Amino acid sequence: MKNIDSKGHVTGKSLYLDDIPVRQGTLHAVVFFSPVAHAKIKNLEVTDARNYPGVIDILTAKDIPGENQIGGIIPDEPLFAEYETDYLGQPVALVVAETERIARRARQLIKLDFDELEVITDPRVATEKGWLLTPPTIFSMGEPEKKWSHCKYIFEGSVEQAGQEHLYLETQGAYSYPAEDGRIMVHSSTQSPTAAQRTIAKVLGISMNQIQVDVVRLGGGFGGKEDQATAPAVMVALAAQKLEKPVKLVLSRADDMQITGKRHPYSSDFKIGLSQDLKILAYEVTYYQNGGASNDLSPAISQRTLFHTTNSYYIPDVKATLYSCKTNLPPNTAFRGFGAPQGMFVIESAIAKAAMELHVPASLIQKRNLLRENDLFYYGQTAKQVNIRKTWKTLCDEYHLQEKQKEIESFNKKNRIYKKGMAMMPVTFGISFTNISMNQARALVHIYHDGSIGVSTGAIEMGQGVNTKMMQVAAHTFSIDPSRIKLETTNTSRVSNTSPTAASSGADLNGNALLVACNALLMRLKAFVAEQLKASKKEVEIVNERVFVKGNETDFTWEKLIRQAFLNRVNLTEHGHYATPVIHFDVEKGKGHPFAYHTYGTAAFVVKVDVLRGIYEVEEVDIVHDFGDSMNQSIDIGQVEGALVQGIGYMTMEELSYNSDGKLLSNSLSTYKVPDIYGVPKTVNVMPLKTSGHTLAVMGSKAVGEPPLLYGLGVYFAIQNAMREFNPQFASFDAPMTPEKVLMGLYPRSKSVPETTKSEKQLLKTE
Ligand code: MTE
Ligand code: HPA
Ligand code: MOS
């Protein structure tokens, strides 16, 4: 089945927040934010701005009737800075005017008087100063400190990783208008309508039932709208409440890049110990997470870094310590992978370092340590239905990786300007929210008496195809044509207390809730047929819109059945609730069974580096991925391809750059490069691993949203392997690997540019 949104997207008919027709008298808002990263606020001067023609109001912390507090997990983030600003981009006021243009002009007239304070952007410096967002977290198993003496080889090193801008095509925004009796309606581009509703209630000083949040779809979220869509929603709701007018706020790209948090940069230290036969015996790691100015989702992201510290490997003795550091940057937040990329990049770097020192391919160490059935993850969960070795082996066999390696070797012997490198990237990703209570969902199904169906769930469509999957779940359960089913907007008045659509669990959680509702309706319909036709419930079946009793077709079609059921006053509406069974976790001990299951897969990268210019090309990526029993292969493969490219961008060209004053320098698309059509791999092969699926995955179809982003890490090591063909001394773990860094890495002081042969000169000329 095709993604039901495809046609609307390519014809431009799909509605996004900014397309919602606005009401008469709608006002427009822009955010005035701090121009400095850290300062005591002395005075906020808004008189000139307020007097600017067309300006209606300027809202500040003083206009908040409830609490000036939007922190999701920990209440440490004001909606508007009042006494102190903690990052450049922190909202201080909201300018509301007749048009957006007027609001922008007026914003320039606001003056903030302040005394600058010390700015810290480096998480290690923050740790030294005791600037921590939460106390350090340690997860461990065994005692690595007692294991070092048993290790034949021990390697240590440091790893740097920059952040990543979400760059959703649709920027953050919200639209709100007052309804009767102080009620507030909010349209929002959020992954988490309930978080918006809860926070609006807190800030506006009203109860949650006074607020209705509605979401049509997002033009991408990627985690950036799990928590940070809340602030714009609260701002417009606050303005709508105070001014009793509709208010709209859509961030410009520049404002969005400046104000919102990104993927967390990390700086880490590792120590890895191996036996003579390359078994990893012990691993110790310390992460310094750059959290930004407030917690946002950092505590949950920290946990997922710790959960994925050993990636796809069994290591008997592990200790991982994480410092979540407060810095004067925008609060960093969820981004596809949710801390896992940072954890996995460090263990892969440790393995790469060991391989370099020992002069063996990293893939040998990787392969030797891959998880097996019943191995213990160091957080206490026993690995079950482990498919990592199968994906690895299938990849090697189906894509003839040994031969490819030989071709690369002979290519490298023959060429001096171009060097090729290969790397393997196995991925094991846990599926479930790391916060156990979030693993629940609800769905509401109406069968209308013409036989058509309206489905509401808590899932947010953001391009990942969850609505199509929901339609498939309902169509499959009733055995009816999907065209009878309509997916409603996600709305807090229809489906309440939703978890964000995140953790790759949107389809699993909401799909399972929807199954509960559909199955209840189906049972009720079967009971009705049984009663009408004097049969037993078990003998009734609905197949392709026809009703059978004991295998014999009756004269009930789907439409007739529904019509008759309605006339006989059968309830045709059902609400389903689902909570993931099995999972539990003791945060204090760092032990439990936090994941419903794991998703597995392995990727192989071939890259070609131009050693004269430092530029590179990803020639081929081959992937074997465990989709379980995929319910929609075209959507799922699309997820793998998209996530892969996003991961490659993260590891190669996307370079966030802040100066020491905490100012984002790469604040536009001219300085922040993302993969374009020329940047994607020339060939991408995605092969589904043949499995029967997992019982906790919706209809056996495993979660796919985030895991494939992790494949992208492999490109770093493939580039590094290619570079080492030219400069064998090169060993640095500092992502992203931009062409500039490649060039610097290829030429240490002693190294000169290679002499070129005649044919190579010719090649250079033609290029
Ligand atoms: N795919 C598209 N096209 N757009 C997105 O914003 N977000 C990703 C992933 N795939 C995203 C996407 C992230 S971060 C998550 S957690 C999952 O989709 C969420 O959706 P799911 O739980 O339904 O997989
Ligand atoms: N993933 C995404 N979002 C979350 C998680 C998670 O594991 N836990 C809490 N919020
Ligand atoms: Mo995804 S980072 O869990 O929204």
Residue nearest atom 8 in ligand 1 by C-alpha distance: 222
Count of residues in the chain: 767
Tokens 């490997």 belong to: 313
Q: What is the pLDDT of residue 765?
A: 66
Tens digit of each residue's pLDDT (9 = 90 or more) over 16-59:
999 999 999 999 999 999 999 999 999 999 999 999 999 999 99
Ligand number nearest CA of 504 is 1
Query: Integer distance in angstroms from the first to the last C-alpha of the chain?
Result: 43
What is the mean pLDDT of the segment spanning 285-305?
Answer: 98
Q: Which ligand places an atom closest to the C-alpha of 226? A: 3
433 lines ligand 3 (CB under 6 A): no
247 CA from centroid of ligand 2 (Å):
31
**CA torsion through residues 351, 357, 358, 361, sign:** positive
Alpha-carbon span 289 to 287, nearest angstrom: 6
**Three state DSSP letters for 21-85:** CCCCCCEEEEEEECCCCCEEEEEEECHHHHHCCCEEEEECHHHCCCCCCCCCCCCCCCCCCCCEE
What spacing in Å lies between the alpha carbon of 760 and ligand 2's midpoint? 51
- Choose the residue to mutate in 227, 433, 706 for probing ligand 2, maximizing ligand atoms within 8 Å of C-beta: 433
What lies within 8 Å, CB to CB, of 551 at 6+ separation is 541
In angstroms, the CA 465 to CA 407 distance is 39
Please report the beta strands in 346-417, taking only residues with DSSP state E, as ranges in sequence order: none
User: Sign of the C-alpha dihedral, residues 732, 718, 160, 428?
Assistant: negative
- Averaged pLDDT for residues 689-711: 96
Regarding the beta carbon of 336 and ligand 3, being less than 6 Å apart is answered yes
- State the Cα–Cα distance between residues 26 and 38, nearest whole angstrom: 35
At 574, the amino acid letter reads: E
- Residue 767's pLDDT is 57
* 642 Cα to the center of ligand 1, angstroms: 10
From atom 18 of ligand 1, which residue's Cα is the shortest distance away? 705
The pLDDT value given to residue 543: 98
- Rg, Å, the chain Cα set: 28
How many C-beta atoms surround the C-beta of residue 736 within 10 A?
21
pLDDT in tens, 212-236: 999 999 999 999 999 999 999 999 9
pLDDT tens digit string along 175-207?
999 999 999 999 999 999 999 999 999 999 999
Question: Is the bond into 736 cis (omega within 30 degrees of 0)?
Answer: yes
Residue 763's pLDDT band (boundaries 50, 70, 90)? low
Reply yes or no on whether the pLDDT at 682 is more than 80: yes
What is the position in ligand 3's atom list of the atom closest to the CA of 225?
Answer: 4
pLDDT tens sequence across 479-517:
999 999 999 999 999 999 999 999 999 999 999 999 999
From the CB of residue 489, how many other CB atoms can be counted at a distance below 10 Å? 15
- pLDDT confidence tier of residue 161, bands split at 50, 70 and 90: very high
**70 in Cβ contact with 231 (< 8 Å):** yes
Distance 337 CA to ligand 1 centre (A): 10
Q: Which of 611, 614, 526, 528 is nearest to 570 (CA)?
A: 528
CA atoms of 176 and 248, how far apart (whole Å): 6
User: Which atom of ligand 2 is nearest the CA belonging to 297?
Assistant: 10
pLDDT value for 476: 98
What is the reported pLDDT for 758?
73
Residue 497 CB-density burial (10 A; 0-12 exposed, 13-18 middle, 19+ buried)? middle
Q: How confident is the model at residue 753 (pLDDT cuts 50, 70, 90)?
A: confident
Strand partners, 429: 599
pLDDT band at 154 (very low <50, low <70, confident <90, very high): very high
CB 698, CB 629: distance < 8 Å: no
Alpha-carbon separation of residue 741 from 376, 421, 439, 732, 745 (angstroms): 38, 17, 42, 10, 6
Pocket residues: Cβ below 6 A from ligand 2: 226, 297, 300, 304, 334, 338, 433-435, 438, 502-503
Read off the pLDDT of residues 340-393 as tens digits, 9 standing for 90 and up. 999 999 999 999 999 999 999 999 999 999 999 999 999 999 999 999 999 999
Ligand nearest the Cα atom of residue 298:
2
Interior angle at CA 622, CA 619 and CA 628, nearest 5? 155
User: Measuring CA to CA, how many Å separate 708 from each of 81, 400, 607?
Assistant: 38, 21, 18
Residues with beta carbon inside 6 Å of ligand 1? 220-223, 336, 462-464, 466, 501-507, 639, 642, 703, 705-706
Distance 297 CA to ligand 3 centre (A): 11
State the average pLDDT for the chain.
Answer: 97
pLDDT per residue over 389-427, tens digit each?
A: 999 999 999 999 999 999 999 999 999 999 999 999 999
CA distance 66 to 74: 17
Whether ligand 3 lies within 6 angstroms of the CB of 165 is answered as no
Cβ-count burial of 295 within 10 angstroms (0-12 exposed, 13-18 middle, 19+ buried)? Answer: buried
Q: Which domains does the chain have, with CATH numbers?
A: 6-117+167-259 (3.90.1170.50), 266-433+590-746 (3.30.365.10), 440-579 (3.30.365.10)
Query: Are the beta carbons of 703 and 504 closer than 8 angstroms?
Result: yes
Q: Which residues contact 403 (CB under 8 A, 6 or more apart)?
A: none
Instruction: Say if residue 766's pLDDT is above 70.
Output: no
Q: How far is the CA of 339 from the centre of ligand 3 (A)?
A: 10
Question: Annotated catalytic sites, by residue?
Answer: 706
Residue 213 CA: distances (Å) to CA of 172, 197, 204: 15, 6, 14
Q: Which atom of ligand 2 is nearest to the CA of 433?
A: 7
Ligand 3 neighbour 578 (Cβ under 6 A): no
Of the pLDDT bands very low, low, confident and very high (cuts 50, 70, 90), residue 755 is confident
pLDDT value at residue 692: 87
Task: Please tell me the distance between residue 630's alpha carbon and the centre of ligand 1 in angstroms.
Answer: 16
Tokens 């916060």 sit at which residue? 435
Give the number of the ligand closest to the Cα of residue 296: 2
Quick one: which atom of ligand 1 is closest to the CA of 168?
6
Q: From ligand 2's centre to the CA of 300, what distance in Å?
A: 6
pLDDT at position 319 over 60: yes
Q: Does residue 226 line the site of ligand 3, with CB under 6 A? A: yes
As a whole number of angstroms, the distance between CA 521 and CA 503 comes to 29
User: What is the residue with the minimal CA distance to atom 1 of ligand 2?
Assistant: 503
3-state secondary structure of 373: coil
122 CB-contact burial (10 Å; exposed 0-12 / middle 13-18 / buried 19+): middle
Residue 502, ligand 3, Cβ within 6 A:
yes
Which listed ligand is nearest to 297 at the C-alpha?
2
Ligand 2 centre to CA of 3 (Å) is 25
Tokens 């998480």, residue located: 123
Strands 540-543 and 591-593, by their bridges, are unpaired
Q: What is the pTM of this model?
A: 0.97
Average pLDDT over residues 530-555: 97
- 3-state DSSP: the chain helix, strand, coil percent, rounded to 5? 35, 25, 40
Percent of the chain residues past pLDDT 90, beyond the cut: 96
Residue 403, both tokens: 């031969």
Q: Please work out, in degrees rounded to the nearest 5, the angle formed at the alpha carbon of residue 244 by the alpha carbons of 243 and 246.
A: 95
Structure tokens belonging to residue 558: 């789907």
Sheet containing 546-549, strands listed edge to edge, beginning at the edge strand earlier in sequence: 540-543, 546-549, 552-557
Mutate to test the pocket of ligand 3, among 165, 192, 226 (most ligand atoms within 8 A of CB): 226
Looking at residue 748, its pLDDT comes to: 83
